[in-house]
Amino acid sequence: MKDIQSIQEDFVQDFSLLEDWTQRYEYIIDLGKTLPKIDDLYKTDEYRIKGCQSQVWLHHRYENNILYFSADSDAIITKGLIALVIAVFNEQSPEAIAKAEVNFIAKIGLGEHLSPTRANGLNSMIQKIKHIAANHLA
Amino acid sequence: MLKSDVMPSFEIEKIRKDFPILARQVHGKNLVYFDNAASAQKPKIVLDTLQNFYSQDYANVHRGVHYLSQISTDAFEKTRDALQVFIGAKHREEIIFTAGSTASINLVAQCFGEAFIGEGDEILVSGLEHHANLVPWQICAQKRKAVLRIMPMLATGELDMEKLPLLLTEKTKILAITATSNALGTITDLVNIIPLAHQVGAKVLVDGAQSIAHTKTDVQALDADFWVCSSHKLFGPTGVGVLYGKKDLLEAMPVYQSGGDMIKTVRYESSTYNELPHKFEAGTPNIADVIALGSALDYINNLDWHGAMAHEKTLHENLEKGLLGIQGLRIIGTAKHKAPLSSFVVEGVHNYDLGVLLDKMGIAIRTGHHCAEPIMDFFGVAGTARASLAFYNTQAEVDYFLESLKKAINMLR
Ligand SMILES: Cc1ncc(COP(=O)(O)O)c(C=O)c1O
């Protein structure tokens, strides 16, 4: 598995090839469509991250010092953004996640989605992932 | 010669210049502001009044003998007079300044509740209400051990008039009902509803938050007992609301908040309270914004109102025609009489995604539950996208919106 920083750099590289907002959003929407569906079992309040307008569910599994994440949303753009975040953090160790700095979202021109006042739950999801990692630190 | 013959026709391009913000760009595109039901933009005259007031005439009101305090007080009270005329109140002291519609409704729910609602009494709330005209009544019902009843609506988003007589009983103390639904656009049939409520002795609170920018209000003709609105939806500043109440009712109600301005005499043992309207206006009010609301009223009074209303009605008809032509799109709220707003859902597309993509195209609409979750539940949707118009919008904007919406839907499907 690549480390978190190089995965982020790959995304920054990918997005630099996209010319305008339409292409960037088309790319995100495509990512959203390909995000593996979360098991319906986990689409409950227990796994839900309150995000006001679009709902986000996050499930994780911990095995051999590795965290596995899956997530879903009812909104496709949120789903695409989630797919990016999952790709960055999935199959990493709690240590790596806890100390990682998430800096790629602003760099790919989607920083507006990160604001805590933005009603998409993306920011809360990143906080949640960090929190899960912190709980699994040795 | 008829007055209408000499009135200038509605000149949209000229009107738009009165609203500085309409000239700005968003994400490199000309702003298309279709979120007027959430809050309306302000004409320059309102902004100038704020600037001039703070730079020339500012002082506290009702307290000073000095020159500036007099000027402030006069200007402040002038807005009250203007509002009295604007909504057709009988007495100027029936106009109470609050912080907004929400604050006005809370005042009534608490003070009318305390004076007039007791155990086993009933509160009837229409099924079309914004949370602001529902939750205060829920709390009131809990506190007073009263029963909250809801007047249901039909699939069109119109209230079910057949159910009304069954819901109104001699126990009904108040009916809380909107003039226009913010979520669906439905204009309620107040002319027929209010007399029915009065027949059983119930009072009626009308939420005019959404109607005020689109219809002439006459609280006496309606015979509303209470009526509320927010300045910010009427092209005025935020932070100001209006509560109209019939004088005898307001007089019979206990005070709300207490402090300065609302007292007559204060002794350590007890105090006596000021008369209307000051009885309900404790503390330093929102002076500048009240005065600027006066300028918003001036602006509207000088507008070719009929022209403006005809213009927004045509735009709305064209908007709905366009929306109906989009495959998989369903308009939520199909009442016969609607304010110029359209709530809709698109099959297989989340309203949040539509909002995000339209924003990228410079278009401001509202998405979500519009503070009316029970209404969303009724229609079985989690939320809608809502485009809401004002008289300063244009046909070109409607066309661009429809085209952009189709583009967004194509991207999302
Ligand atoms: C119908 C209706 N009632 C009440 C309110 C509350 O108004 P405010 O937030 O200005 O207090 C709104 C605002 O959206 C509304 O649309």
Q: Do A25 and B383 touch (CB under 8 A)?
A: no
Q: What is the pLDDT of residue B63?
A: 80
Return d(Cα A104, Cα B46) in angstroms, integer.
43
- Beta carbon pairs, A and B, within 8 Å: 40
Q: Is B207 in the pocket of ligand 1 (CB under 6 A)?
A: yes
Q: Is B172 in the pocket of ligand 1 (CB under 6 A)?
A: no
pLDDT tens for chain B, residues 1 to 413: 444 444 457 999 999 999 999 999 999 999 999 999 999 999 999 999 999 999 999 999 988 889 999 999 999 999 999 999 999 999 999 999 999 999 999 999 999 999 999 999 999 999 999 999 999 999 999 999 999 999 999 999 999 999 999 999 999 999 999 999 999 999 999 999 999 999 999 999 999 999 999 999 999 999 999 999 999 999 999 999 999 999 999 999 999 999 888 888 999 998 888 899 999 999 999 999 999 999 999 999 999 999 999 999 999 999 999 999 999 999 999 999 999 999 999 999 999 999 999 999 999 999 999 999 999 999 999 899 999 999 999 999 999 999 999 999 999 98
Label the pairing between strands A66-73 and A56-63. Answer: antiparallel
> What was the ipTM of the complex prediction?
0.89
Strand order in the sheet with B384-388: B329-332, B341-346, B384-388, B366-368
Q: Which two tokens stand for residue B276?
A: 């209307």
When pLDDT is averaged across residues A40-65 and rounded to a whole number, the result is: 86
For ligand 1, mutation pick of B104, B105, B130, B131 (most atoms within 8 Å of CB): B130
Q: Which residues pair with B227 in a beta bridge?
A: B206, B244
- Residue A63 parent element (H or E): strand A56-63
Q: Where are the domains of chain B?
A: 12-43+304-412, 48-301
Q: What is the CATH number of the domain that holds A45?
A: 3.90.1010.10
Alpha carbon of residue B393 to chain centroid: 19
Q: Is the pTM of this model over 0.90?
A: yes
Pick left, alpha or beta for residue B202 (phi over 0 → left; psi -120 to 50 → alpha; otherwise beta).
Answer: beta
Q: Is B209 in the pocket of ligand 1 (CB under 6 A)?
A: yes
* Cβ contact B20:B44 at 8 Å: yes
Q: Report which DSSP code applies to B173.
A: E
Q: Do A29 and B412 touch (CB under 8 A)?
A: yes
Q: Give A11-20 contacts, CB < 8 A, sequence gap 24+.
A: A11/A84, A11/A87, A11/A88, A11/A104, A11/A108, A12/A104, A12/A107, A12/A108, A15/A107, A15/A108, A15/A109
Q: Which of B22, B5, B74, B6 is nearest to B294 (CA)?
A: B74
Q: Which residues pair with B343 in a beta bridge?
A: B332, B386
* Cβ contact B168:B149 at 8 Å: no
Distance from the Cα of B353 to chain A's closest Cα (Å) equals 6
> Which chain A residues are closer than 8 Å to B349 by Cβ?
76
Residue with tokens 């500085």: B20
Total domains in chain A come to: 1
> Which chain A residues are closer than 8 Å to B382 by Cβ?
74
Extract the runs of DSSP E, i.e. beta strands, from B347-383: 363-364, 366-368
Q: Which of B412, B361, B373 is nearest to A75 (CA)?
A: B412
Q: Could you tell me if B383 lies within 8 Å of chain A, comparing CB atoms?
A: yes
Residue B279 CB: number of other CB atoms within 10 A?
A: 23
Q: Least CA distance to B404: which residue of chain A?
A: A22
| A117 has a pLDDT exceeding 70 | no
Q: Is B388 in the pocket of ligand 1 (CB under 6 A)?
A: no
Q: What is the 3-state secondary structure (H, E, C) of B75-113?
A: HHHHHHHHHHHHHCCCCHHHEEEECCHHHHHHHHHHHHH
Residue B374: cis peptide before it, omega within 30 degrees of 0: no
* Cβ contact A124:A132 at 8 Å: no
Distance from the Cα of A56 to chain B's closest Cα (Å) equals 13
CATH of the domain spanning B48-301: 3.40.640.10
Q: What is the pLDDT of residue B1?
A: 41
> Which chain B residues are closer than 8 Å to A29 by Cβ?
353, 411-412
Q: Least CA distance to B383: which residue of chain A?
A: A53
Return d(Cα A14, Cα A88) in angstroms, integer.
14
Q: Do B353 and A75 touch (CB under 8 A)?
A: yes
Return d(Cα B395, Cα B399) in angstroms, integer.
6
Return d(Cα B107, Cα B103) in angstroms, integer.
6
* Cβ contact B412:B333 at 8 Å: no
Q: Rounded to the nearest whole angstrom, what is the distance from the C-alpha of residue B214 to the centroid of ligand 1? A: 15
Q: Name the band, by pLDDT with cuts 50, 70 and 90, for residue A123.
A: confident
Q: Rounded to the nearest whole angstrom, what is the distance from the C-alpha of residue B105 to the centroid of ligand 1? A: 10
Distance from the Cα of B217 to chain A's closest Cα (Å) equals 34
Considering only the beta carbons, identify the residue of B350, B368, B411 that sits closest to A74. Answer: B350
Considering only the beta carbons, identify the residue of A26, A74, A77 that sits closest to B356. Answer: A77
Return d(Cα B316, Cα A137) in angstroms, integer.
58
Q: Which atom of ligand 1 is nearest to the CA of B181?
A: 1
Alpha carbon of residue B314 to chain centroid: 22
CATH of the domain spanning B12-43+304-412: 3.90.1150.10
Express as a percent the part of chain A with pLDDT over 70: 93
**What SS3 state is found at B366?**
strand
Q: Do B350 and A120 touch (CB under 8 A)?
A: no
Q: Could you tell me if B350 lies within 8 Å of chain A, comparing CB atoms?
A: yes
Instruction: Write the burial class of residue A22 (CB in 10 Å: 0-12 exposed, 13-18 middle, 19+ buried).
Output: middle
Q: What is the pLDDT of residue B2?
A: 47
Q: What is the pLDDT of residue A51?
A: 63
Q: Which atom of ligand 1 is nearest to the CA of B238?
A: 10
Q: Report which DSSP code applies to B57.
A: I
- Cα dihedral A131, A136, A137, A138 in deg (nearest 10): 170
Which domain range does residue A125 map to? 4-135
> Which chain A residues are closer than 8 Å to B371 by Cβ?
none
Q: Name the band, by pLDDT with cuts 50, 70 and 90, for residue A113.
A: confident
* Cβ contact B164:B151 at 8 Å: yes
Question: Which residue has its alpha carbon closest to ligand 1 atom 16?
Answer: B182
Q: Report which DSSP code applies to B270.
A: -
Q: Do A75 and B360 touch (CB under 8 A)?
A: no
Q: What is the pLDDT of residue A52?
A: 60
- Which residues of chain A approach chain B closer than 8 Å at the C-beta? 21-22, 25-26, 29, 52-54, 74-78, 119-120
Q: What is the pLDDT of residue A59?
A: 94
Label the pairing between strands B329-332 and B341-346. Answer: antiparallel
Q: Which atom of ligand 1 is nearest to the CA of B100?
A: 11
* Cβ contact B333:B185 at 8 Å: yes
Return d(Cα B206, Cα B224) in angstroms, integer.
7
Q: Which atom of ligand 1 is nearest to the CA of B230?
A: 10
